Chain A
Amino acid sequence: MAIQFEFISSDAITGKSSEERISLIMKSVRKDKILVLEEPLTPAEEKLLIMKTMTAITREFPGIEVCSLGQTGSDLRSRVIKLLGGKTSGLTVVGPSNLVHQIKRDPHKLRFMAGK
């Protein structure tokens, strides 16, 4: 079975609220897509993502695997970069756990195993 990946540019999610970003992710993940977001989620957004995932869990949808690299928080540097229209480097990979079995990471590398 083919696995569908979706790459989301930071332009596509800039300006969206955290709630909107999370519902966009959930919508795609529930359709068995693996998402790669050009901009990493913040810890607060990841917290929200986990909570939304928990409310969505069913017998058929057991949850997600998620991993962010180069995460930026709400520190001054990140805020100034965003305010000036710049992009903070990093990415988030997220997919349904019945497709993405494991994501291994070190500070600079992601490796994930996917398949039905």
Chain B
Amino acid sequence: MPFQGLFKWLLGFFRGRKTFSLGIYGNVNTGKSTLANRISMDWTGEAMSKVSEIPHETREVIKKERVSIRVDGKELTINLLDMPGIATKVDYHEFVDYGMSKDDAQQRAKEATKGVIEAIKWLEHVDIALVVMDACLDPYTQVNITILGNLEARNIPVIIVANKIDKKSAKPERIRAAFPQHHVVEVSALKGDNVNKLYEEIVKRAR
């Protein structure tokens, strides 16, 4: 809809202050929910998502509304959206390997596929996106490329979060080399390392 942007701007103008939808995207198990919890804890004092080592723990979009971030006197209000991890396959056997029963694993797989679809549909509705990558793994995956390609096509501001830098095998420089056109912030969502830099970037890029 050509006037959608103008309408959103006018709505924000007359309400006095715009609320930004910030989507946290990425492959499965890159630490998206850990980052969502870190942001939510830092600014509201409450966690928002359940975290697990079993893939696809987040199977629906989890929202934390009206989170106010303040950096250098500037305030930004965001609706924080913890997205299910995006994948091209969901094999229930993988969950069985983590000790789940066959029935539970199959149910989890079914819910996970719906979560992936929901996350993809939201790509068109976020105002700013954090694309979280595990700094210990090869960043050049098709899922990362597809997420970034779709956000770029819609001119949605993107910050790549190179997560898990507290781990010895982390090589965030590989992420910078793979996506030189994007701004990369290195963090440990688990330990809180460098998250202030991320907040600065979010406030800077939200528009």
Which residues of A are in contact with B by a Cβ distance under 8 Å? 42-44, 46-47, 50-51, 53-55, 57, 59, 62-68, 71, 73-74, 97, 103-107
Q: Restricting to B83-97, which residues have a CB under 8 Å from any CB of A?
A: 86-93
Bound CA span A43–B148, Å? 8
Taking CB atoms, residues of chain B closer than 8 Å to A63 are 87-91
Stretch from B111-119, B126-134, B165-173 contacting the other chain: B111-119
Question: Given A63-B89, A64-B89, A54 and B114 touching (CB < 8 A)?
Answer: yes
Are A104 and B138 in touch, CB under 8 angstroms? yes
Sample of 16 A–B contacts (CB below 8 Å): A43-B146, A44-B153, A51-B116, A54-B117, A59-B92, A62-B92, A63-B88, A63-B91, A64-B89, A66-B142, A68-B145, A71-B145, A73-B152, A97-B89, A97-B91, A104-B138
Chain A residues touching B, majority SS: mixed
Are A73 and B117 in touch, CB under 8 angstroms? no
Are B145 and A65 in touch, CB under 8 angstroms? no
* Chain A nearest CB, measured from B126 CB (Å): 14
Taking CB atoms, residues of chain B closer than 8 Å to A104 are 138
Most chain B CB inside 10 Å of its own CB: which residue of A63, A71, A74: A63
Are A46 and B146 in touch, CB under 8 angstroms? yes
Closest to A71 in B: B149
Closest to A73 in B: B153
Q: Restricting to B119-169, which residues have a CB under 8 Å from any CB of A?
A: 120, 123, 138, 140, 142, 145-146, 148-150, 152-153
* Chain B nearest CB, measured from A25 CB (Å): 12
* Chain A nearest CB, measured from B110 CB (Å): 8
Bound CA span A26–B86, Å? 19
Taking CB atoms, residues of chain B closer than 8 Å to A53 are 88-89
Known contacts A62-B89, A62-B91, A62-B93; 11 further A-B pairs (Cβ under 8 A): A44-B150, A46-B142, A46-B146, A47-B150, A51-B117, A54-B116, A54-B117, A55-B113, A57-B109, A74-B153, A107-B140
Interface size band for B: 20 to 34
Closest to B114 in A: A54
Most chain A CB inside 10 Å of its own CB: which residue of B88, B123, B152: B88
Chain B residues touching A, majority SS: helix
Are B140 and A46 in touch, CB under 8 angstroms? no
Closest to A65 in B: B88
Question: Given A46-B142, A67-B142, A105-B140, A57 and B90 touching (CB < 8 A)?
Answer: yes
Taking CB atoms, residues of chain A closer than 8 Å to B152 are 43, 73
Bound CA span A35–B56, Å? 28
8 Å CB contact of A50 from B93, B109, B120 = B120
- Confirm or deny: B19 has a beta carbon within 8 angstroms of a beta carbon on chain A: no
* Chain B nearest CB, measured from A92 CB (Å): 9
* Chain A nearest CB, measured from B86 CB (Å): 7
* Chain A nearest CB, measured from B44 CB (Å): 32
Are A43 and B149 in touch, CB under 8 angstroms? yes
Closest to B138 in A: A104
Question: Given A55-B117, A71-B145, A106 and B140 touching (CB < 8 A)?
Answer: yes
